[in-house]
Structures are given as C-alpha cells and as structure tokens.
Amino acid sequence: MRFAEVIGQQATKEQLLQMVDEDRLPHALLLCGPAGCGKMALALAFASYLLCSNHRGQADACGTCRQCLMTEKWEHPDLHFTYPTIKLPWMGSDHKPVSDDFISEWRHMLLTRGPYFTMDQWLSEIGAENQQAIITAGESDELNRKLSLKSSQGGYKVSVIWLPERMKTECANKMLKLIEEPPSQTVFILVSEEPDMLLETIRSRTQRIDVKRIDTDSIRQALTSQRGIDSETAERIARIANGSWKKALDMLDTGNENELFLDMFISLMRLAYARNVRELKQWSDTIHGFGREKQKRFLTYMLRLVRENFMYNFGNPELNYMTAREEAFAANFARFINEANILPINDLINKAFVDISQNTTAKIVFFDLALKMIVLLIQK
C-alpha cells in the first residue's frame, strides 16, 4: 500500500511525511474520521512508508525493496495489527481471542477488499453472526510481548490498531501503559471512528489527526481512472458518496443495498398515500427480517432521501445528490415533502432509529412509522 493508492487526502499525506522529514514523528498517532474517508488507507500507506528501506527523502514507499515486498502481502514481521475479534466455538472457555487468531482472514480482506471496508464486512469475513466484536485484554498482553522483541529488520516496529474504541476496559488500561512507555523505535497508529469513546488518558498521549471526508473531485477522478466510469456518471456518484470512497464503490454494484432501500422507500410512500394498511403491515414485516444494523442503515437512507426530495422542490440541481433512479421517483413524489411535514417526518424517522437502537421490536416500530406516514403525507 502506497500513498499514491490513497484516494484524495493530499493534505494529510503531506502532514505525515513532514513529521518524518522534520524528525518529529510522535510515538502514537490517532487518525479519526467518518467511515469511508480513508483512515485505514492512510494508516497502511504510512506504515508501509516507515518500514520501507528507501523512504528517507522520498514522498512514498519505493514499492520494490524487500521490506515493501513483505508489506505488499501484509506479512512484514515488524508490522502488527490489532482489530476487534469474536469468540469462536472451538476456543476454550478461558481463551481470550486475539488478532492473530484471525490473521489469515484479516490479510485476505486487505488483499481482496483493500483498505476501504466496514465492520459489517469484517464480521462477514470471520463468520460472525450476531456477536459483538471487541478487542480483549488478551490482545494487549500479546501486543506487549511482540513489541518487547527487537525489530526483526532493524528499523521501525509499527502497530496499527483498528477501532481502538472497541477495547475492553482491562485492555485499554494495559494499552495505555504500553503507549505511555513504548518500546524503542515503535510507532502506534490508532484508526478510530468514535475517538470520544476512547479513554481520555489514551487520547491525551496520542497526536490526533482528523481525516476529513474525501473531496468530490478526487472521488470523481478515481472513478474514471480506476473504474472506467464515464464523466457524467462519475460526477453523480461522487456527489452522492458524500466523501466516502466505500459508498462510491457500493453504488457501482447494481445489486447494492441502496437499490433495495429505494424499493422499500418507494413502496412505503405509495402504500401510505393509498392508505393501504394491510400492505403496510406486510411492509413492516419485511423490514423486520433485515436485522437491526440493516434496519438502522435503511432509516439513515430514508432521512437522506426525504431531504433530497424536499430540496428537489427548489428546482436547483446543485442542491441535489441523487442517483438517476432516485431522481426519477422524486420528479413525481417530491411535491409531497414540503414545509408542513419535512420536520415531523424527520422526527418520526429519527425516533424510529433510536427505538431500533434500543432493541424495541422492529415490527412495532416500522408499522407505527408506516401508519403515521399516512397522516404526514397529506399535510400541506
């Protein structure tokens, strides 16, 4: 992984390189930002750069030295990964899962999916069903053991920790001590989406870098150069992606989740307008089968599409971020989202999101939403 492969984020790349050039590289970095912005891509590119034999004075890892050839396969002995894991049936009752238990799956995901992935994809990779992935206390003990060893290649030892906010308290306390007194030539790169959930003492001992969403033009250029997408389609996808390369890639898949969500949204609005309560009950039963995380993603999608339909009424294409199919539906539907009901509809969807997050029965939540939508759609 090289900086040249990271989509956008030029300012952050330069900031990381400048730290090395000026010999002020901190022992612990905290890369924070929204999903899909490329935090992990930056972390992997920087780790590859630090481990490269020829990085001094260069703007990227060389890609050809022995060190780079090892990091290409994510098998460099001085590169250590920490990530959330689950407990599998074959593990003993006293076994605390560690990252090395899943290192084959981790490398496979990085090599096949690349650095732009989600927790759902990771859970799918390791065969998790409804388990909560965490970083156990056993992980901090194992990492301490690894980093206490001398560097295999005589350079840096790099520890990349993905989603450190998922560390158990015991693990976080042990990790704090390790970061406070790091072994020689060790660099920690923490990649976080919810840094506020980290121990304050850990945050205070890292140099935080906030990674912004990828600029639209960088996503558009990557879509055309890497994926062969025509300029007009790439522009539309880049705008809707809202700074997330992962979301842009998802939209290239014709069977992607958003297509299903659009179908469900259209069905809800048509059935609510027709006051078809029986069919709305079946609609809510269908959503019930999605699973909680997917239900939350659907509600987030609904919020976006309601906003887009409201903005469509202003007749300014620059204000809209919709696919061609979403826009085709909005052409006839947008007039039903207006000043009288936009806020109540948003409140209704947000309340449903909170209820689902608190494990309220999905059938009840979505049927209630559907029935109330009947009333809100007739408000003018």
The interaxial angle of helices 231-241 and 216-227, nearest 10 deg, is: 130
- 152-to-205, 247, 355 alpha-carbon distances in Å: 26, 38, 51
Q: What is the mean pLDDT of the chain?
A: 91
The Cα 313–Cα 317 span in angstroms is 10
Q: Kindly give, in sequence order, each residue whose CB lies less than 8 Å from that of residue 102, ignoring residues fewer than 6 positions away.
A: 83, 85, 126
Q: Kindly give, in sequence order, each residue whose CB lies less than 8 Å from that of residue 119, ignoring residues fewer than 6 positions away.
A: 84, 133, 163
Q: What is the mean pLDDT of residues 6-10?
A: 95
Q: How confident is the model at residue 129 (pLDDT cuts 50, 70, 90)?
A: low
- 50-to-12, 99, 123, 166, 302 alpha-carbon distances in Å: 16, 22, 29, 26, 43
**80-84, 100-104, 292-296: segment of lowest average pLDDT:** 292-296
For 185-199, write each residue's pLDDT tens digit.
Answer: 899 999 999 999 999
Q: What is the mean pLDDT of residues 127-133?
A: 77
Cβ neighbours around 143 below 10 Å, total? 24
pLDDT attached to residue 380: 65
Cβ atoms of residues 101 and 136 within 8 Å = no
Q: What is the DSSP string of 187-203?
A: EEEEEES-GGGS-HHHH
What region does 133 belong to: left with phi over 0, alpha with psi -120 to 50, or beta? beta
Give the 3-state secondary structure of residue 28: strand
Q: How confident is the model at residue 84 (pLDDT cuts 50, 70, 90)?
A: very high
Q: Kindly give, in sequence order, each residue whose CB lies less than 8 Å from that of residue 360, ignoring residues fewer than 6 positions away.
A: none
* Structure tokens belonging to residue 303: 């919020």
Q: What is the mean pLDDT of residues 111-123?
A: 90
The Cα 186–Cα 158 span in angstroms is 6
The Cα 298–Cα 301 span in angstroms is 5
For 201-233, write each residue's pLDDT tens digit.
Answer: 999 999 999 999 999 999 999 999 988 888 888
Q: What is the mean pLDDT of residues 84-100?
A: 86
The Cα 249–Cα 235 span in angstroms is 13
The Cα 172–Cα 332 span in angstroms is 53
